[in-house]
């Protein structure tokens, strides 16, 4: 299945295929590509839970990014983005725009993001994804919105 039935976003299977293709293209053309992994939760009292309206979160993310960017929903309910021709600083700015848009729509939400870039942080699809996941885990350690950038592997 190429789309997530709940949000209409592209699926994790599509994300894996697209990321392989985008990194291969970036390698051929000597261009950067960024991956951002997002987790959006709602503050409910002392608990952080997934938003009750994932389609609305998906719409905010999609509306905030460029048409050329790829937005996917992973099996665990988080979001994965592929930002072509985007170095580290551009990816962080894009995630900050997404964060501001989410705060405007969901005042009690928290967004954590992990950003990793080819070739700055890794050279293969697997390495970029691993670095992005590690950055997301580091962001999730905070009890507030946080965008973490991968370290070079």
- Is the pLDDT reported for residue 43 higher than 80? no
**CATH architecture of residue range(s) 12-149:** 2-Layer Sandwich (3.30)
Domain ranges of the chain: 12-149
- Is the pLDDT reported for residue 49 higher than 80? no
Look at the block and give the residue holding tokens 């939760």: 41
Q: Encode burial over 109-141: b for 16+ CB neighbours within 10 A, e otherwise.
A: bbbbbbbbbbbbbbeebebbbbbbbbbbebbbe
> How high is the pLDDT of residue 31?
98
CA distances from 148 to 9, 32, 88, 116, 151 (A): 24, 18, 11, 9, 9
d(CA 133, CA 35): 10
The pTM score is 0.93
- Is the pLDDT reported for residue 44 higher than 70? no
- Is the pLDDT reported for residue 33 higher than 70? yes
| Tens of pLDDT, residues 79-132 | 999 999 999 999 999 999 999 999 999 888 899 999 999 999 999 999 999 999
Chain center to CA of 16: 13
d(CA 141, CA 101): 22
């Amino acid at each position: 299945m190429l789309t997530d039935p709940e949000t209409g976003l592209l699926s994790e299977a599509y994300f894996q295929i697209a990321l392989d293709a985008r990194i291969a293209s970036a390698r051929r053309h000597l261009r950067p590509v960024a991956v951002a992994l997002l987790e959006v939760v709602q503050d409910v009292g002392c608990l952080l839970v997934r938003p009750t309206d994932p389609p609305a979160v998906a719409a905010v993310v999609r509306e905030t990014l460029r048409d050329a960017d790829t937005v996917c929903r992973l099996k665990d309910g988080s979001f994965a983005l592929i930002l072509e021709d985007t170095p580290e600083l551009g990816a962080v700015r894009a995630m900050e725009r997404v964060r501001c848009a989410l705060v405007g729509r969901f005042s009690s939400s928290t967004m954590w993001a992990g950003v990793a870039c080819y070739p700055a942080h890794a050279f293969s699809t697997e390495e970029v994804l691993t670095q992005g996941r590690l950055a997301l885990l580091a962001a999730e350690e905070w009890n507030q919105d946080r965008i973490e950038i991968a370290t070079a592997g």
